[in-house]
Amino acid sequence: MVRWGLTSFAGFLALSAGRTRRNGLAGVWDIPNLPYSVSYLPSSLCILFYPSSSGSMLYNRILITGANGLLGQALVARMSRFPEYDVLATGRDDAPRYEGGSCGYAPLDITDPEAVRSIFQDFAPNVVINCAAMTQVDRCEANKEACWAVNARAVKTLAEACKALGARLIQVSTDFVFDGEDGPYREDTRPNPVNYYGRSKLAAENVAREAGMSKWAIVRTVLVYGTGHHISRTNIALWLIEQLANGEPVHIVTDQWRTPTYVDDLATGIERLVHFEKTGVYHLSGRELLTVHDFAQTIADVFGFDDSLIHPVTSDYFESAAPRPPRTGFIILKAETELDYKPRPLREALVHLGNKLDLPVTSP
Ligand SMILES: NC(=O)c1ccc[n+]([C@@H]2O[C@H](COP(=O)([O-])OP(=O)(O)OC[C@H]3O[C@@H](n4cnc5c(N)ncnc54)[C@H](OP(=O)(O)O)[C@@H]3O)[C@@H](O)[C@H]2O)c1
């Protein structure tokens, strides 16, 4: 009990100090169940309170990067449900874009090594979940330096900071590390990316493996869909729903196979990986392998949209796009077995999404 009280209080001090340093504000963090606030504490004093490894601790201090993105928001919602996690969400914006989630927030651009060092010193995380990335595949192809800076180089900064602190890094990665010739893939298949985004994400995986951290995990995922608040980038399901609801025609590929992943399930899987303190590579995606066109047809069917608006095309229809791997998708047996990961069936996930969007479901 004494240890819990001390650690908990120290976590709160560090959060308040972090906010004070960055924004000149006193303890205005959204932290439940704490009757007091501390306006200033030097970060050097905060780290005196922290043991350096999670082994002796009763709860985890989780740092989430890219917390305003699709996955970041779902993770904030998921992780802050558990009293044993002390969550600090970070993103490029001055303020959080997600709603709810009882945790602290601090601005952090992961390409700024000094800012990363400062956050690590103030918060002393023992788990870091890196959701920050340049995720637009064509933008990565056109802006290689900017892509490399956030997707690869910044991961080295995070990995080195984790190593110095004995923290666990969970690096979120992608099916685009594979060439898509023979999916669905297991974790031990040799990667061979076909575009720059995939190359940058593979480089980040290699950094996570080779940085010398004793605790790390790579979570690969596939075609993530879901909703969040003021997310900067739409996703396949939201975009299709919007287009079809407005009666707009869409052109969707019939020659790319994926195992689409509902973001809430992905967040649950990552929470389980943190809970079980797993190291290594894990594939977390949906279970059903289907073409993107079939995925669009399923969305039309579940929500009663006119499916004649969905025009089948092949990849070469999008002439200027970066190459995509044709057939990826994951075998998720390892995650099912070791994490008890249970993604919802596709139609059930779409119904769940529809409920969040207040969208009537016609054919569950
Ligand atoms: N979405 C998919 O289909 C998919 C599939 C496979 C793997 N993944 C992986 O899943 C992870 C999460 O992706 P997501 O779907 O949540 O994408 P997302 O919605 O685009 O979120 C990425 C977040 O990273 C932030 N970010 C970009 N540069 C940053 C920087 N320098 N410092 C701090 N934050 C930065 C973005 O900020 P802004 O909001 O300001 O742009 C955004 O909030 C990524 O690693 C991605 O590669 C995604």
Check if 174 has its Cβ closer than 6 Å to any atom of ligand 1. yes
- Cβ(171)–Cβ(217) under 8 Å? yes
CB of residue 110 inside a 6 A radius of ligand 1: yes
CA 45 to ligand 1 center in whole angstroms: 33
pLDDT at 87 over 80: yes
Which tops the pLDDT comparison, 60 or 59?
60
Q: For ligand 1, atom 19, name the residue with the nearest CA.
A: 69
What distance in angstroms lies between residue 148's CA and the mean position of ligand 1's atoms? Answer: 14
Catalytic, out of 197, 225, 262, 282: 197
pLDDT of residue 41: 29
Rounded Cα gap, residues 143 and 253, in angstroms: 25
Dump pLDDT digits (tens) for 180-213.
999 999 999 999 999 999 999 999 999 999 999 9
pLDDT in tens, 25-54: 222 233 332 222 222 223 332 322 323 333
Taking CA 147 as the corner, what is the angle to CA 169 and CA 256, rounded to the nearest 5 degrees?
90
Ligand 1 pocket test, candidate residues 92, 135, 177, 238, most atoms within 8 A of CB: 135
Supply the pTM of this predicted model: 0.87
Is the CB of 172 inside a 6 Å radius of any atom of ligand 1? yes
Six-digit token pair at 75?
A: 């993770």
Give the model's confidence band at 364: pLDDT under 50 very low, under 70 low, under 90 confident, else very high: confident
* Ligand 1 binding pocket mutation candidate from 131, 207, 230, 292 (most atoms within 8 A of CB): 131
Q: Is 229 close to ligand 1, i.e. is its CB under 6 Å away?
A: no
Domains of the chain: 2-224+260-287+328-344 (3.40.50.720)
197 is catalytic: yes
Q: Find the largest Cα–Cα distance for the chain.
A: 64
Ligand 1 centre from 291 Cα, in Å?
23
Q: pLDDT (tens digit, 9 = 90+) per residue, 289-346? A: 999 999 999 999 999 999 999 999 999 999 888 999 999 999 999 999 999 999 999 9
307 Cα–ligand 1 center, Å? 30
Q: What distance in angstroms lies between residue 111's CA and the mean position of ligand 1's atoms?
A: 13
Using a 10 angstrom Cβ sphere, with 0-12 exposed, 13-18 middle and 19 or more buried, the burial of residue 359 is middle
